[in-house]
Structure 1
Amino acid sequence: MEKNLKQISNGNVVNIEELYESLMQLLEQVGGIMPFTSSLVSWWQHRNFNKRVVCNEAKIKEIMLSVSITNAEFIYTKVAPMVFEKIVKDQEDEKAELLLLGFDNCVKNDLGDEDIIIYYFDLLTELRVIDLKRLFTFSKRTNESIIIPEMNSEQDMLLSFSDSKLIRLGLINERVTKPLGNDLKEYYDFIEVTSSGNRFLDFIGI
């Protein structure tokens, strides 16, 4: 297995097909994984997966080069199948990058708690990109400013729905009631990311 891992890292010229073939060789060396191998082949042939892999080829290579020998079986038989399945099935192309950020975190930090990993990836699946970007801005971990929509506008409706979802999932808290007037700035000053929300952001590396 170590030899194959080194073969993957021979140079920056490795294309995605060669990376895939090397991954298949690694998988075959781990016992009892034929169902996963067959499934991954079908995912690979899926149009969405091909498109999203091409767009994120550099990141996938980087992640694969980071897999430790000791953690390879867990990554390839538990984490990778879940990540690839979600990449294929998600409705939003942008989500692939965020799923790979979570995958990268699992690999680089040798995360081994399967239940926690599943929870965070399921949470990523439940949230749409608009929800995630909303959470990012509330966290102040990015340079983007919080969008303050015009009261009762369509944008206000969409963002209010997103905020309600983040509250329901325990990712943010609102410490004041939404005002009836037209000024929402003060209201957004009192929205804070919860400890659970911050742990989730840590998981995806934001």
Structure 2
Amino acid sequence: MRTDKRGGICFRVDDNKPIQQWIEFAEVFNRYGFKFCAALCPGRMAGDEAYTALVRSLQGRGHEIMDHTPLHSVDKLPLPHGADADAWRTMPGVDHVDATRVYLTHDAIDTKLLPEYRADISGNVMTGRTPQVLNDPNQTRFIAVYLPATGRVFRFRQIEHSGDVTLALRSFWDEDNVDLGELRDVVCHKLSKADVRMTLAA
């Protein structure tokens, strides 16, 4: 796996630009022997052979490709039509695979600088031990919770209850398959987007 960084300028755009626009960017840089980095959204080019060919062409000329932003990273991809799901399961960076998607791994959560909270859990419903501990006045920050007792990160849906917030937990990949049984007074950490990073292999 190549990790040498050579692209001096990174083009980060919403979604993906048309193929012709990337070709025009590359022609300018190639003319002067410089490299650039294209921050792309992998989920939007899955199954698109023309876009895949573009990526290979750019990489072949020494340009770099990256996920379009580390704060909105891709955590799952469509399973290509006709693909061998068992083969995907053994690939580095893959957590699990189902009939339609490939679910990618995230790095271990570093809790050293994260505040610690306590909560009760029943099945997939999480309630803070103190009032409003799970409320978030800044909705852009709090996107997941980490429960060290389970070693897992969970996304959630908010449930209002008497002015307090209760969370309906979902898997990190937003699957509705969480049942943790009965847990009382467990440690939890609220996570922002910056606290969860995908693995290099993913």
Q: Normalising by structure 2, report the TM-score.
A: 0.26
Larger RCO (CA under 8 A, 6+ residues apart): 2
Which of the two has greater helix per residue? 1
Q: Normalising by structure 1, report the TM-score.
A: 0.26
